Structure 1
Amino acid sequence: MNDSPGFQRRPAWVITAMLTGLATINFLDKVVFGMVAVPLMAEMQLSPAQFGLIAGSFFWLFSTSTVAVGFLSNRVQTRWILLAMGVSWAVMQVPQALATSAIALLVCRVLLGAAEGPSFPVSIHALYKWFPDQKRNLPVSIIAQGAALGLLLAGLLIPLVTREWGWRANFIILGVVGVIWSLLWLYIGREGNLGAQTGQSGGRGNGAEFVERLPYRTILTDPSVVSTFLLGFAAYWMLGQNLTWLPTYLEKGLGFNSIQAGRWFAVVTEVAAPVNIGLSWLSQRMLQRGASTRQARAQFVCLMMITGAALFLLLPLLHLSPVQRVILLTIAGALPTLCFTLAPALLAEVVPSSQRGAIVAINTAVASLGAAISPVVMGRIVQMRGSVGEQAYELGFVTGAALLIATALIGLRWLHPEHSNRALKRSTPAVTA
């Protein structure tokens, strides 16, 4: 019998399914703004720079709320935190649908970002209470694919909804979906207690030896933790850039109509899902065959980010057709997403379980700053170079690619989870608060 004591398979997978649904809604909320960019900018007479500012504002309070709720999740049951987030997301769709000015939209996006910021770290923290360490890779990967499903549905459905009922109808539909999920979660959602029973920190079978708590200054200055944060920053930079500007690049840069652009956007996100799952599985197989987490997680994710960056760099250098450019962009964008799956596992190996929720939240907060900055940078590049033609958009992709390479090289040099695990255990006495 390989199951850990206290592991409940069926309810654990039910919770996984619900959290995957939440991730789907989360990314629909994120991407809808970029998907309606063309009609929205035309109706409200927004310049590319203004639109990029409003799109990036989604992440202004994203980090602050993520950290605050991350610390709260160490003390309050995650089932109630997730319910509060689901309800608030649904409510915030209404003022977005009714907004008549750029300022109103900006305020709505800031507040929605604050409500959605803690979603991923709280979901991971909740999931880790249901699954032991050796069984966590797959459910975390599935939740990540909930995000990919949200992007796929956005690409297929949002252009159709916009064509039939206008861009505002998308926000009303998302509000209804959020209400339905919240009602289901109120009935189904439960709190796992596996972490409390096992006392594991997330390390590979040695978490019980970890001190109960460590000073946050010690954790946050550890080279592996800092390197993981930087990798997440670069990955989120590309995510925020793609969610905001990829639909516009497909339409105005490559010349596809709105329906075609939506379908190609769906292709890009659909490919990311099996690539992420496949790479996560390969990482797990490497671990099972005796590879260290330095090799199977740290070095592996860094190499995938460098490979993705290299493909982004090829976009402006090769003479490709629009379809060939989309294919290249699809592969390039899929590889860095592995960071979203492996970063929580790397951090869980290093830090005590009693502080895991806060550290994963801080990671998301720091990383999401990249998504707050990149739409603005891309918007300014597009405005300076002209919004018609692919060159301006591809220059923005190159900027993100340079960041991917820089942070991956840092990770290859300083990301050593096993070393950090041992160093943190012996470096500082436990604290009680």
Structure 2
Amino acid sequence: MTASPDFQAKSAWTMTLLLTGLALINFLDKIVLGLVAVPLTAELHLSPEKFGLVAGSFFWLFSISTVLVGFLSNRFQTRWLLLAMGLSWAALQLPQAMATSALALLICRVILGAAEGPAFPVSVHALYKWFPDRQRNLPVAIINQGAAFGMLLAGLVIPLVTRQWGWRMNFLLLGAIGAAWSVLWACFGREGGLGRQQAAPIVRTRVSRLPYRRILTDRSVLSVFALGFTAYWTLGLSLTWIPTYLEKGLGFNGVEAGRCFAVVVATATPVNVGLSWLSQRMLGRGVSTRKARVHLICLSAVAGALLYITLMLLHLPPLQKVALLAIAGALPTLSFTLAPALLAEMVPDTQRGSLVAIHTALASLGAAFAPAVMGRIVQVYGGNNSHAYELGFTVSAVLLIAASLAALRWLHPDRSHKTLNHFATQATA
């Protein structure tokens, strides 16, 4: 494989490091609510159902802002969009720290979700300007591990901060961290030069633009969206309910639950990077993307689903349940890494940013619904034992299996690329 002459490895990996830091902050912001759930719900007198509603509210405007900023990323430099995000996240931590009611906290989370929604697709779009197609799996996987490390750090640090200074102090610290990243990005963030000039590793005829109506009704594209929805569903549960499950369902104290949560999220790093590396290695050996990306995502998701079901069916000691939960949650995260690459194969570079944004917007609806569904289940079956939470995880398993079977049937990247371009060629003839 011959690298593009415009590829600048040192700068590309520097941008990857900075964007990994942004992903870390993004997930610290997301997970903090789940890790302070027990003292927060006690102080604000929230039922499980109300807490699930507040937790899911983070994603109410997440999708809308993701799509809007995704289209902007087709026209404006990503470096400025990312800087605006970092600054807004930092500023929005203060009102969360001062919230005194469920309504005030809900409003803060809705606004913060709108500000953070575009982070992943814009980061991926920014990275794709630095890396050619067959080198994109690994840097995106590394960004995702910034998210995993953010959750790991949160599990270790947030319970200690809460015990020492109270749950509100966590939001103030996150504001300071976000401000520090924004300064670094303003100094060192740059725009990549790869894009329309990049030579594709597989010779294909690309049109400049495709009708969005045609793209969004393509079965391969819809299958990618479905896989993303189920992956975000499991992520939404991880962000909001796993700490409570560990504490109330499995009987750990707050600090122990935080450490167990850190183990759960840390497991995602070797699993995601290892599978992403395997996919990239398969591509390097000439394996089709159908096998190297689609099959790998689906097999990982189904394996994770079976482990979720096992968690409910078997009566295991708490630490064994933590181990199963860790692997089950790690496997579906491969979709976060490979889904953008699959979309980039099928659509022109000029529409890549908006399509990745649309995917994130629709997929993240899973994270909006999942906490509320789990909250309802816990409300009905009681939250002081593990059964209710494990029933909620089983709902995730069903969704993962259904989306994987659909993708195995309908997700064919090369076929969709040819179909979409043939349609566009006929339309412009």
- Residue 35 of structure 1 aligns with an amino acid whose one-letter code is L
CA distance in 1, matches of 2:125, 2:239: 25
- 1:68 paired residue number: 68
What letter matches 1:273 in structure 2?
Answer: T
Matched, 1:157 2:157: yes
User: 2:4 touches 2:199 (CA, 8 Å); kept in 1?
Assistant: no
Query: Which residue in the other structure is 1:343 paired with?
Result: 339
What residue in structure 2 maps to residue 403 of structure 1?
399
TM-score relative to the length of structure 2: 0.98
Q: Which amino acid aligns with 1:417?
A: P
**Pairwise CA distance, 1:199:** 6.2
Moved over 4 A (4+): none
Alpha-carbon contact 1:284-1:296 (below 8 Å) kept: yes
Residue 33 of structure 2 is matched in structure 1 by 33
1:42 aligned counterpart, secondary structure: helix
Alignment of 1:367 onto 2:363: yes
Unaligned 5+ runs, structure 1: none
Q: CA deviation at 1:197?
A: 2.4
Per-residue deviation, 1:430: 8.5
Whole-angstrom distance in 2 between the partners of 1:105 and 1:199: 48
Q: Which moved more, 1:379-388 or 1:419-428?
A: 419-428
Q: CA deviation at 1:427?
A: 1.3
**CA offsets per residue over residues 81-103 of structure 1, 9 Å max, x none?**
00000000000000000000110
Q: Using the TM superposition, give the Cα deviation of residue 287 of structure 1 relative to its aligned residue in structure 2, in angstroms.
A: 1.7
Shift of 1:51: 0.3
Letter in 1 for 2:26: N
Are residues 1:269 and 2:240 paired? no
Are residue 190 (structure 1) and residue 187 (structure 2) matched? no
Shift of 1:425: 1.2
Between the aligned partners of 2:199 and 2:104, the Cα distance in structure 1 is: 47
**Partners of 1:247 and 1:351 in 2: CA distance:** 39
Alignment partners' CA distance in 2, 1:133 and 1:428: 22
Give me the whole-angstrom Cα distance separating, in 2, the residues matched to 1:90 and 1:267: 27
Asked if the contact 2:347/2:417 (under 8 Å) is kept, the reply is yes
> Counterparts in 2 of 1:56-205, with a 5 A limit?
56-198=56-198, 200=200, 204-205=201-202
Compute the displacement of 1:276 (Å).
0.3
What is the rounded CA distance, in whole Å, between the counterparts of 1:69 and 1:206 in structure 2?
31
CA contact (8 A) 1:55 1:375 kept: yes
Instruction: Say which of 282, 289, 294 aligns to 1:293.
Output: 289
Superposed counterparts of 1:217-256, under 5 Å = 217-256=213-252
Measure, in 1, the Cα distance between the counterparts of 2:196 and 2:345. 16
Deviation at 1:110, TM superposition (A): 0.1
SS in 2 for 1:217: helix
The whole-number CA distance in structure 2 between the counterparts of 1:231 and 1:121 is 16
The runs of 5 or more residues in structure 2 that have no matched partner are none
Secondary structure, aligned partner of 1:195: coil
Tell me, yes or no, if the aligned pair for 1:214 and 1:429 is still in contact at 8 Å.
no
Q: Which residue among 351, 354, 358 is the counterpart of 1:358?
A: 354
Name the structure 2 match of 1:319: 315
- 1:47 maps to 47
- Report the residue type matching 2:20 in the other structure: T
* Cα offsets for 1:312-370 (capped at 9, x unmatched): 00112111000011111111111000000010111011111000000000000000000
Residue from 363, 381, 386 that aligns with 1:385:
381
Tell me if structure 2 keeps the 8 A contact 1:275–1:335. yes
Aligned length: 428
Aligned residue for 1:148, secondary structure, equals: helix
SS at match of 2:409: helix
Give the superposition deviation at 1:150.
Answer: 0.3
Determine what percentage of the aligned residue pairs are the same residue: 67
Distance in 2 (alpha carbons) for counterparts of 1:17 and 1:265: 24
CA distance in structure 1 between the partners assigned to 2:213 and 2:425 by the alignment: 13
Contact 2:134 2:280 in 1 (8 A): no
**TM-score, normalization by structure 1:** 0.97
1 CA distance for matches of 2:427 and 2:68? 20
**Deviation, structure 1 residue 8:** 1.1
Q: Could you list the per-position Cα deviations for residues 93-146 of structure 1 after superposition, in whole angstroms to 9, with x for gaps in the alignment?
A: 000000001100000000000000000000000000011112111111110100
Question: How far apart, CA to CA, are the structure 1 residues paired with 2:208 and 2:95?
Answer: 44
The one-letter amino acid of 2:190's match is R
Shift of 1:242: 1.3
Residue type of the alignment partner of 1:196 = R
- Give secondary structure in 2 for the equivalent of 1:206: coil
Instruction: Tell whether the 8 Å contact from 1:91 to 1:175 is kept in structure 2 after alignment.
Output: yes
Native 8 Å contact 1:213 1:431 kept in 2? no
Matches of 1:75 and 1:206 in 2, distance apart?
A: 26
Mapped pair 1:308 → 2:304: yes
How many Å separate the matches in 1 of 2:24 and 2:266? 13
Q: CA deviation at 1:9?
A: 1.3
Q: What secondary structure is seen at the aligned counterpart in 1 of 2:197?
A: helix
Q: Which amino acid aligns with 2:147?
A: A
